[in-house]
Amino acid sequence: MQYQNIVVLTGAGISAESGIRTFRAADGLWENHRIEDVATPEAFERDPELVHQFYNQRREQLLLPDIRPNPAHQALAKLEQGCTEQFLLVTQNIDNLHERAGSHNLIHMHGELLNLRCITSGQVFSNHQPVAPEARCRCCDQAGTLRPDIVWFGEMPMQMELIYEALESCDLFVSIGTSGHVYPAAGFVEVANSVGAETVEINLEPSKKQSAFDRHIYGPASREVPLFVE
Ligand code: BJW
């Protein structure tokens, strides 16, 4: 590729063909709850059991042997390996499929499903087990202080300074498998446009931000991303 500074943003669509459900599809509800109703600090305060149950189920699913990176994740890892210049992959996904495909320069802006955070100390722990709301934290030995290390609505996404720094100097911005409903990620294309980068959307269908992109590629990520990076 002729570009010097590439930023790629991914969303739930890139993991759909690995067997992980997206959020805003027709079947996007979880036990009749919208994501906006379970992924908030207020929901966790009101009903920690429900919120832990949501993440316990998704953690258990992620650890199933048939949930694996697909050709789209692999193509992005290959793109990074072949890059001599700057490359940053920013994912909104909390699964670990990019790293399992071999991506390294990666930011999980909405956190990681396999991490827990102590709300008292801020310490982050790797965790593959189901979590009960009354579980004791291994740093402070208190019950009820552990939460998923996930960015919920109303919270600040992670590593925003690094992300904006990369966007402000990129010459190619590619958005893959995201509906463009959730900010600040949905606004990254405008930052890239403001510095004259070429902007490309790869998605199953036009996203909410479609008109902001220079190029559009519509189709399944596992087919379109490998073709795009070739
Ligand atoms: C395929 C495919 C295939 C399918 N191949 N494609 C009013 C206006 C503007 C903003 C706000 C507002 N009111 C409130 C806000 C802020 C709020 C927000 O954006 N709300 C909107 C709902 C309006 N945002 C926040 O609160 C964020 N924080 C924040 O703004 O802090 C302040 C701040 C200020 C300034 C700078 C920086 C910060 C936090 C957002 C946290 C989002 N968290 C979630 C849940 C936690 C993670 C989890 O549990 O997994 O993150 S919500 C959920 O949506 C999840 C996702 O990462 C995120 C995005 O979803 P995504 O990835 O786009 O998935 P879908 O399902 O929507 O789309 C999938 C797409 O793939 C579809 O288009 C399909 O077609 C496609 N697809 N199969 C290719 N095979």
Low-confidence ranges of the chain (pLDDT < 50): none
Looking at residue 11, its pLDDT comes to: 98
Token pair recorded at residue 211: 């008109």
Element (H, E) at 15: helix 13-16
For ligand 1, is residue 32 a contact (CB within 6 Å)? no
Q: pTM value?
A: 0.97
CB 62 within 8 A of CB 96: yes
In the CATH hierarchy, which top-level class contains the domain 1-20+69-110+157-230?
alpha beta
Token pair recorded at residue 127: 């965790």
Q: Which of 183, 202, 225 to mutate to test the pocket of ligand 1 (most atoms within 8 A of CB)?
A: 183
Looking at residue 26, its pLDDT comes to: 73
Quote the ipTM score.
0.96
φ/ψ of 212, rounded to 5, equals -85, -10
Looking at residue 121, its pLDDT comes to: 95
Q: Kindly provide the residue ranges of all beta strands, DSSP E only, lying in 130-197, ordered along the sequence.
A: 146-150, 172-176
- Among all chains, which residue has been given the structure tokens 């190619």? 172
CB 188 within 8 A of CB 172: no
Same fold, 1-20+69-110+157-230 and 26-66+112-150: no
Looking at residue 1, its pLDDT comes to: 67
For ligand 1, is residue 11 a contact (CB within 6 Å)? yes
Fold of 26-66+112-150: SIR2/SIRT2 'Small Domain' (3.30.1600)
Distance CA 99, CA 225 (A): 17
Parse the chain into domains and list their residue ranges.
Answer: 1-20+69-110+157-230, 26-66+112-150
Looking at residue 147, its pLDDT comes to: 97
* Integer CA distances (angstroms), 211 to 193, 207, 220, in order: 12, 9, 20
* Integer CA distances (angstroms), 196 to 103, 107, 171, in order: 26, 23, 7
For ligand 1, is residue 39 a contact (CB within 6 Å)? yes
